[in-house]
Amino acid sequence: MTLSPTVAVIGGGPAGLMAAEVLGASGAQVHVYDAMPSVGRKFLLAGRGGLNLTHSEPFDVFMSRFGERRAQLEPMLAKFGPQQVREWATGLGIETFVGTSGRVFPTDMKAAPLLRAWLHRLRSAGVQFHMRHRWLGDASLDSAALRFATPTGETSVKADAVVLALGGASWARLGSDGAWAPWLQGRGIDVAPLLPANCGFDGAGWSAHFSSRFAGQPFKSVAISFTDSQGRSFARKGEFVATATGIEGSLIYAASALLRDEIASQGSATLLLDLLPDRSAEQVLAAVKHPRGARSLSSHLKSRLGIEGIKAGVLHEALSKEAMQDPVQLAATIKAVPLKLVATRPLDEAISTAGGVRFDALDPALMATALPGVFAAGEMLDWEAPTGGYLLTASMASGAAAARGAIRRLGL
Ligand SMILES: Cc1cc2nc3c(=O)[nH]c(=O)nc-3n(C[C@H](O)[C@H](O)[C@H](O)COP(=O)(O)OP(=O)(O)OC[C@H]3O[C@@H](n4cnc5c(N)ncnc54)[C@H](O)[C@@H]3O)c2cc1C
């Protein structure tokens, strides 16, 4: 009797687990290795924010979120896209719903029951898990054996094909530390620099007074706009948070790729913060100019425009005492507070990682051309997307695609 081929999936995040699922159904012997004591740690962390699995917008709009990598990702997402993610969750006994923003979540907003059901199904399909197995990125990927550090010492493993699904390089304590990047480069696989995506920024220039009072507080119902030096622009309403040294939060993450790239090329990026996006500049000016009698400026701004707390604080950061008294300057600044950003927050804090294994280094089945038999998937590939369920969907879609590639290569 000939033994069925063995596939090593290294990395047990959503990309690796989806690869294991597709491989498990093919008759291959599937072994999942992960450095951590358990798989799916970042997936579980995502569950703390409600687990935004995917997005319900039309497929064309969904694909536009991947920007310059749309062409590379579209074939994978056409096979395993938003609809398939929802069906997959349903298949695991987890119903999903579409939130007001069009984002898709499990009904209970939790990741743990989904992961539990998924692991149960994978084990039932014969997938074997090897935790606390840290791949050492050896030079023998394409020949003798894969080397792993384990609690009982080093071990080596043979496999007929390998799927690398090692994640990006943020939240290293959950397992994905980006250590693989130089290892793969050393084996002739081109890797684009790993950069923070969906990240916060430093350099808003807060005074000590402002950061001690307002760090951690949200700017709500505001809008930001930004145009980079190449004329690409971003404008959206939403909310974000002041940090001790800058800004972070959903609205900032949405603009972060543009801001990050502008800082890299120009040294800084200045966005404009509209504190009252639902009022026109004329309305704001009229309200500011309205006679205030004996009332202080701050109670005038509060009663006429609802500007108080952090919104009032940021105006004092942007304007001198004299300028605050000038209705034209004050009104203009309410509609456009300049926030100059000079650095991204460190990659480890980011929601996701841009850069990674370049698609040029892979064939359409995600196999490394420099290392036949070795496939790569998930966030370690060179693509990025905003938050909104795109990250999980594309990680799973690419895991499935790498598995299909391995199945074809092994003739299963
Ligand atoms: C706070 C937060 C919230 C998020 N919320 C969402 C959300 O709601 N929706 C969404 O779409 N996305 C979300 N994301 C992003 C999403 O979780 C990731 O994009 C996704 O987990 C990437 O999947 P992956 O399988 O490629 O990598 P990972 O999930 O990072 O998994 C990689 C695995 O590889 C293992 N590994 C790494 N190196 C080695 C090694 N040398 N040897 C062995 N194992 C190794 C790691 O231990 C890890 O288990 C969130 C991310 C964060 C940080």
List, for residues 344-388, the tens digit of each pLDDT value: 999 999 999 999 999 999 999 999 999 999 999 999 999 999 999
Q: List, for residues 154-206, the tens digit of each pLDDT value.
A: 999 999 999 999 999 999 999 999 999 999 999 999 999 999 999 999 997 89
Q: What is d(CA 314, CA 309) in angstroms, rounded to the nearest whole number? A: 9
Q: Cα–Cα distance between 45 and 347 in angstroms, integer?
A: 17
pLDDT (average), residues 204-232: 96
pLDDT digits (tens, 9 = 90+) for 48-96: 989 999 999 999 999 999 999 999 999 999 999 999 999 999 999 999 9
Give the helix, strand, coil percentages of the chain, each rounded to 5: 40, 25, 35
In order of 215, 240, 385, 396, 407, the CA distances from 273 in angstroms are 17, 11, 23, 36, 51
Quote the radius of gyration of the chain (alpha carbons, Å). 25
CA–CA separation, 272 and 270 (whole Å): 7
pLDDT score of 31 more than 90: yes
In this model, does residue 396 exceed pLDDT 80? yes
The owner of tokens 């009032």 is 312
Q: Is 184 in the pocket of ligand 1 (CB under 6 A)?
A: no
What was the pLDDT predicted at 145? 85
Which residue type occupies 148?
Answer: F
More confident of the two residues 204 and 255: 255
Note the pLDDT tens digit of each residue in 92-114.
Answer: 999 999 998 999 999 999 999 99
Nearest atom, ligand 1, residue 40 CA: 49
Domain 6-196+354-410 in CATH 3.30.365.10? The answer is no
d(CA 353, CA 197): 5
Cβ(379) – ligand 1 distance below 6 Å: yes
Q: Is the CB of 255 under 6 A from ligand 1?
A: no
Contact 107, 47 (CB under 8 A): no
Q: What is the pLDDT of residue 403?
A: 98
| Residue extents of the structural domains in the chain | 6-196+354-410, 201-344
> Is the CB of residue 45 below 6 angstroms from any atom belonging to ligand 1?
yes
| Cβ contact 74:63 at 8 Å | yes
Beta strands in 205-295 (DSSP E): 218-227, 233-242, 246-248, 269-274
Half-sphere exposure of 314 (CA within 13 A, CB side): 29
Q: How confident is the model at residue 3 (pLDDT cuts 50, 70, 90)?
A: confident
- For residue 52, give the nearest of 395, 318, 332 by alpha carbon: 395
Percent of the chain with pLDDT over 70: 98
- Mutate-to-test residue for ligand 1 from 166, 198, 380, 393, highest number of ligand atoms within 8 A of CB: 166
Q: What is the mean pLDDT of the chain?
A: 96
> What average pLDDT does range 317-339 have in this prediction?
97
343-379 burial string, b = 16+ CB within 10 Å, else e? bbbebeebbbbbbbbebebbeeebbbeebebbbbbbb
Burial of 63: CB neighbours in 10 Å, binned 0-12, 13-18, 19+:
buried
Q: How many CA atoms lie within 13 A of 78 on its CB side?
A: 7
CB 240, CB 200: distance < 8 Å: no
Q: Is the dihedral of CA 187, 192, 196, 202 positive or negative?
A: positive
- pLDDT for 2 equals 65
Query: What number of other Cβ atoms are within 10 A of residue 120's Cβ?
Result: 12
Ligand 1 contacts CB of residue 167 (under 6 A): yes
- Which secondary-structure segment (H or E) carries 259? helix 250-266
The one-character DSSP state at 412 is -
Q: Identify the pLDDT of residue 204.
A: 76
Closest to 184 measured CA to CA, from 156, 171, 160, 165: 165
The upper half-sphere exposure of residue 122, i.e. CA atoms within 13 Å in the direction of its Cβ, equals: 26
In testing the pocket of ligand 1, which one of 391, 393, 398 has its CB within 8 Å of the most ligand atoms?
391
Task: Quote the pLDDT of residue 140.
Answer: 59
Q: From the CB of 39, is ligand 1 less than 6 Å away?
A: yes
Record the tokens describing residue 5, joined without a space.
């081929």
CA of 247 to the centre of ligand 1 (A): 24
Strands, E assignment, 260-319:
269-274
Determine the pLDDT at residue 6: 95
206 CA to centre of own chain: 27
Mean pLDDT computed over 402-410: 97
What does the DSSP assignment read for 52-108?
--EE-S-HHHHHHTTGGGHHHHHHHHHHS-HHHHHHHHHHTT--EEE-TTSEEEETT
The mean pLDDT of 298-304, rounded to a whole number, is 96
Q: How far, in Å, from the CA of 42 to the mean position of ligand 1?
A: 5
